Amino acid sequence: MSKLELVFVPAPFVGHLVSTCNFAENLLNRDERLCITILIIRPPPPWDNRIDAYIKRSSSSPDGRRIRYVTLPQAEPPPAEELAKSIEKYFSLLIANYRPHVKEAIITNKWPDSNPKIIGLVIDMFCSAMIDVANELNIPSYLFFTSGAGFLGFLFYLSVWHDQVGREFNRSDADLKIASYAHPVPSKVLPDFASSKEGYDSFREHGVRFKETIGILINTVAEFESHAVNNLASDPELPPVYTVGFLNDLEGQKGKGNSKSEDEEIMKWLDQQPPSSVLFLCFGSVGFFEPPQLIEMAIALERSGVRFLWSIRHPVDAELSKFEEILPEGFLERTKNRGIVCGWAPQVDILAHKATGAFVSHCGWNSTVESVWHGVPIVTWPLYAEQHINAFQLVNDLEIAVELTLDYRMRESDHRENVKAEEMEKAIRCIMDCGNPMRKRIKDMGEICRNALMEGGSSSISLGRFVETILDSKSCS
């Protein structure tokens, strides 16, 4: 039986790679003729060093014979001054420099036991330059969008805005009518890149190029982002849209940052807490706060009286002894019977635990997906990237989150006001109130999203449509 190959080019961030690998495994389960090559762009130091560890673990999966990882040679990085202008543009330029390496890998890297026909190049949201490679090799190209449908709609909106206004955004601009959002979007919640000419131009170009693909795959569930998905699917200028989420790494965080005994200690403590009683605070692997903000957070936690599990990632990677120096004097001692402060936290396991009642989150898409999957309501504290517009959507369009802040910017310490303890305490009491209807709403949505991947569910059907498309005689002739 002849094999048919899809080639994936994920962005060099472990969160993007995780979603890509999970999607690849779902595809392999659909048809035994399929095999997949994932081309790895290893970012220059000091960027994400967890990619190699993830590949090593994924390579040992049962589908190891039908999925392979090819690490590309290093490409010339853009000039350092580009990084100072815009991190988003820097990575877009860096990835574009990998075009010849991707082309060479597709042409020369053969499977040891077969010579499958390549039926598609699947690119990440940062990798639109790879459409050039697909065109040169006469291969169909598809977009795999690792964030949500609402944010994808915003990227398409950039061209509309540019045609009307001709410039990047200002945070003083009036509320925006973006079709993929049900409510007008305040300019203060737009991503950082939207107000930077370099980042704005870079993502506007991505959005234009996405339309050149012949299919868009989104890590979301049709029922979850119904307004955004319906808007994208009904746009005649866009290629077909496939909702293939949620794509979760339910096993991937074990042993990432802690020893096994440290993780076990956290989970043992959770086992001793009442159901839905613990507030979990975690802000991603690079989300951190300066000491004055940490003090406000500690005061709010102590005043609220709730049980809590607080993961603190500090710029100097503080250990527990350092926490005592940063947090209010005596805080750890006074709250030791109802709270834990740690460095790394096994987020997936914590969100899955019955004791976890709510999640104070930076609202990155992967964290949002994990929280919804397990039916845990969110308190919004976005920090960078597209997290602010995600948080707006969770609060206003989807109504599964309590707004604490929507416009806190981690990179703007010189112009930013700290969130006060009183504001945080109010949000904590609201989200932990067992009578809050939001708690039932997100549990119901979690069940809908899990069912979407089951046979007959919306994501399962959408994935089936995509597989039928790529196996169509026109694709495989």
Place of tokens 């899809």: 6
User: Residue 123: which of 214, 198, 249, 54 has the closest Cα?
Assistant: 214
d(CA 459, CA 220) in angstroms, rounded, equals: 8
Token pair for residue 159? Answer: 């061209």
Catalytic residue among 16, 206, 227, 353: 16
Active site residue 16: yes
The torsion defined by the Cα of 436, 243, 207 and 166, in degrees rounded to 10, comes to: -40
Among 344, 350, 346, residue whose Cα is nearest residue 307: 350
β partners of residue 6: 36, 120
d(CA 196, CA 202): 10
- Spell out the residues 6+ positions from residue 345 whose beta carbon is closer than 8 angstroms to its own: 258, 266, 280, 282, 309, 311
The tokens for 453 are 């991947």
Half-sphere exposure of 306 (CA within 13 A, CB side): 32
Distance in angstroms (rounded) separating the CA atoms of residues 225 and 221: 6
113 is catalytic: no
Q: Are 386 and 360 in contact (CB under 8 A)?
A: no
* DSSP-derived 3-state class of residue 226: helix
The CA distances from residue 239 to 210, 211, 213, 430, 460, in Å, are: 9, 6, 7, 42, 19
CA 217, 218, 222, 228 torsion: positive or negative?
A: negative
Which positions ≥6 away from 332 have C-beta within 8 Å? 323, 324, 341
Set 48, 124, 201, 249: catalytic member = 124
List the catalytic residues. 16, 124
